[in-house]
Amino acid sequence: MRTHDVPRVLHVLHALNRGGVEKWLLDVLRSTPPGSWSTEFLVHTTEPAAYDAQARALGAVLRVGPDTRQPLRYVSRLRQLLLEHGPYDVVHSHLHLFSGFVLRAAHRAGVPVRIAQSNTTEPVSGAGRTMYAALMRHWIRQHATHRMGISAQSAAALFGADWRTQPHTGILHCTLDFSAYARLAPRAALRQELGLPGDRIIIGHVGRLDPVKNHRFLVEAFAELVRLGVDAQLLLVGTGPLESAVRRHVDALGLTPRCTFAGGTDHVAPFFGAMDLMLFPSVYEGLALAPLEAQAADVPVLASHAVPPEAEVVRERLHRLPLEAGPGAWARVARQILATARLPDRAAAAGALQASRFGVAQSIEHMARLYGATLPDTAPPPRAAPPPPSRLREAVP
C-alpha cells in the first residue's frame, strides 16, 4: 500500500552516461509536470557519469546498486536495498537481459509495478550466453508485470517474435524534447560558430565511438565519397573506447584534414544543424535517437537496417541501405541524396517530431499510465497520424 502522495519510481541502468536511453530519461525528468511521480536512478558504478549532476539538479536521487559481477548475490542485495530505501511503487529496469535479476529482486521486495524495458537488439551468441539469456527471459516472464520495447525490433529481441500476443507487453518509445531544433541558427552561422568549413559538404555522425556504431565502415564510406569528387568534411560528435583507433584509420586514409572530431557534448542540436547529410551505419540498434534528431533539423539520413522503419517521421528524410552493400554503394547513394537536397524547413520538421510518437509528451503520458500516476488536467498532446506504409525510402545504390 502506498504511504506517499505520488508514485516512487526507480530506474535501473548501468550509468547516466551520454546515450539515447539516458538522454530520454533526462528529458522525461525535465518535462514531467511537478508532483506526477518522483524519480530515482539506481546505477552500477561509483565513477561520476556525464548526466549525474543534471539528474540531481532536476530533483532525482541517485543510488549505487550491488555489484553485477556477483550475480549470485545480486538478487538478495538488491532486495535489501529496495526494502531499506523503499517502499517503491515502480522498478523500471533498462538492463536488457540482466533485468531478470533486477525484477526478481523487486518482486521479492514487494514492488507492485515491475517493468522490463528492452532498449537494444544486441544478438546473443555462444553456448554460455545462450543459456544465460534463456534463464533471464524466463525470470522476466515470471517477475515483470510489464514488458516494454523502444521499438518493435527491440521488443522481439528480448521478449520473442510473438511479443504482440503476450499480455502487458508493448512499445514505450524513447522520446525527446525537439523544440530546440526549431530555433537553430542558419547553417552557415552554425558552421562558423563550430569552426567547420563553410565551403564543404558536411557529412556528420553523432554517437559513441563504440563498435556497434561501426565507425570504420563510416570512415570508409566517407573516403569513397571523396573519391567520387565530393568536396566533403566528416564531422564526428562523440567519444568512446574506439576514438584512437578511428583517428588512426582516418589518418591512414589521408583524411585527417577532412575530419573534425568534436568530442562529447550535451548540446548536439547545433551540430545536426550544420550537417548536409548524416551517415548512420550501426550494426544494431534498439531505436536510435540520432536519426530522429537529424530529422528534427530537417537533415537527410542514410542509415543501416538496424534503424527500424518506424523511425521515419519527416517524409523522405530517412533512407536505409544494408551494410552488405558496402562502403562504395553507401558513397554512391550519399552522393545521390546530396544531389537532390532541398533547403531545410526546421520549424516544420521540429514540429513534426514534437507532435509524433517520439515527442517527449507522448512517453510522459504513457509512463503515467504504467506508473499509476496522475498528470495535471491538461489537453492531451497532439498525436501524429501513422505514416503511410510506402513512405519509407529504401535507398538503391
Q: What is the pLDDT of residues 151-177, one digit of tens each?
A: 999 999 999 999 999 999 999 999 999
327 near 302, Cβ under 8 Å? no
For residue 123, what pLDDT band results from cuts at 50, 70 and 90? confident
Q: What is the CA radius of gyration of the chain?
A: 21
State whether residue 292 is helix, strand or coil: helix
Asked whether residue 272 carries a pLDDT value surpassing 80, the answer given is yes
**CA distances for 295 relative to 40, 306, 314, 347, 351, angstroms:** 31, 17, 6, 11, 11
Dihedral Cα 130, 93, 165, 364, nearest 10 deg: -150
How far apart, in whole angstroms, are the C-alpha atoms of residue 311 and residue 368?
23
In 3D, which of 97, 120, 96, 86 has the Cα closest to residue 10?
A: 86
How far apart, in whole angstroms, are the C-alpha atoms of residue 160 and residue 156?
5
Report the half-sphere exposure of 74 (CA within 13 A, side-chain side): 17
321 near 375, Cβ under 8 Å? no
Q: What is the pLDDT of residues 347-373, one digit of tens each?
A: 999 999 999 999 999 999 999 999 999
**CA distances for 59 relative to 19, 113, 200, 305, angstroms:** 20, 22, 44, 38
Q: What is the pLDDT of residues 285-338, one digit of tens each?
A: 988 899 999 999 999 999 999 998 889 999 889 999 999 999 999 999 999 999
68 near 108, Cβ under 8 Å? no
**CA distances for 306 relative to 279, 285, 300, angstroms:** 13, 5, 17
Q: Position 109: which residue type?
A: A
Asked whether residue 381 carries a pLDDT value surpassing 70, the answer given is no
How far apart, in whole angstroms, are the C-alpha atoms of residue 1 and residue 94?
25
Q: Which residues pair with 146 in a beta bridge?
A: 115
Asked whether residue 388 carries a pLDDT value surpassing 60, the answer given is no
Average pLDDT over residues 52-57: 96
How far apart, in whole angstroms, are the C-alpha atoms of residue 319 and residue 313?
12
Residue 9 grid cell: 519510481
